Amino acid sequence: MIKINTKDEYFMEIAIQEAIKGEDSVLPNPRVGAVIVSKGKIISKGFHQFFGGPHAEVYALDKINNKMKDAVLYITLEPCSHSGKTGPCTDLITFPMISKVVMGSLDPNPLVNGNSIKILNGRGITTKVGVLEKEVKKINRHFFTFYEKKRPYVIIKYATSLDGYISKSIGKSTVITGKESKKSVHKLRARCDGILVGRKTVQIDDPDLSSHGLGNNPRIVILGDKEKLNSNLKVFSKDPIFYSFLDTCKNSDSKNLEKESLFNNIAPLLSKLYHEGMQSLLVEGGGETITSFLMSGLFDEIHAYIAPKIFGSGVPLFTIGTKMDNLNLIVNSFTKFENDVRIVYKLDQ
């Protein structure tokens, strides 16, 4: 629940609710909502509905009389000032029809960042920025992380038995969670630009890694050498990105060469994916891959699926002696799927 203290916050909260309607159809664009107010009353609303389509303010402005004066435009994100899939939205925001623009946040995209304010101010339009900014960033966390941290927004996902095992035995795939849990994972995949797994996971499970018709399919990223995998595996039909990091490890005699190199290469990997334009990444690898991301601290969420099964032995998620007590995690949500539970953790920053 958003705590509302001012008139601007009241109208911005409505704009945020408009933005949320865009759901995943706007990706990789951010969700944006707009509200136009005249004499204290809402006269028009709009939201960005699909990627490549008109922006939120365009929908809102199309619904009002262009002879109107002194209306206030509330918009969750700074209007675009450059030509992309559509023309600059700033061209449509004119004085005296709109006398003030209240924004939730500046656009972190360097093509826009702050430019719209200069343009609007130059026309005599008053601007205000930062109203419910935290909430605006929350609904577009992938977008803001990408531009502000110059890496994808990273979600770690894993499934374990009640006693912490990810498989009953080494080298064999084990079904852990039920159908509803799997469906929620497929939805999560549809919201992410990329999905990452290790070579061993591909080799053992031969996973499909798709959203199973629930939305866009993420780009597949595989850690390890392409040459070590059978070309008949499913992933080879999906143009995966291979990231091999063994040559970056100086200790070539180490028996744990692949592990050691992975621990040291999470940041370079994320930098590479950033330059590929990947705003969000779902990590679904095995224990070594997940542990490496956790130890690096370069992640944003953990989605832990836990099934009411006790294996007694098998492959643990974490190896004995793994310590990560420096991670400050908070529980963000708790959801039940049939007899499974999903706990979503976030870093307490």
The answer to whether residues 70 and 174 belong to one domain is no
* Final residue in a domain of this structure, among 124, 146, 168: 146
| Domain containing residue 140 | 7-146
The answer to whether residues 211 and 253 belong to one domain is yes
Cα–Cα distance, 77 to 139 (Å, whole number): 11
- pTM (two decimals): 0.88
The answer to whether residues 165 and 103 belong to one domain is no
The answer to whether residues 125 and 274 belong to one domain is no
Q: Identify the active-site residue in 9, 57, 78, 288.
A: 57
For the segment 65-98, what is each residue's pLDDT rounded down to a tens digit? Answer: 878 899 999 999 999 887 677 778 888 888 889 9
- Name the 3-class secondary structure at 45: strand
- Which residues have C-beta within 8 Å of that of residue 287, sequence separation ≥ 6? 166, 315, 316, 317, 318, 319
The answer to whether residues 108 and 207 belong to one domain is no
b/e map 195-231, b = 16+ CB within 10 Å: bbbbbbbbebbebebbbeebbbbbbbbbbbeeeebee
For the segment 270-314, what is each residue's pLDDT rounded down to a tens digit? Answer: 999 999 999 999 999 888 899 889 988 999 999 999 999 999 999
Q: Does the active-site annotation cover 78?
A: no
Tell me the DSSP string of 259-314: HHHHHH-HHHHHHHHHHTT--EEEE---HHHHHHHHHHT--SEEEEEE-S---SSS
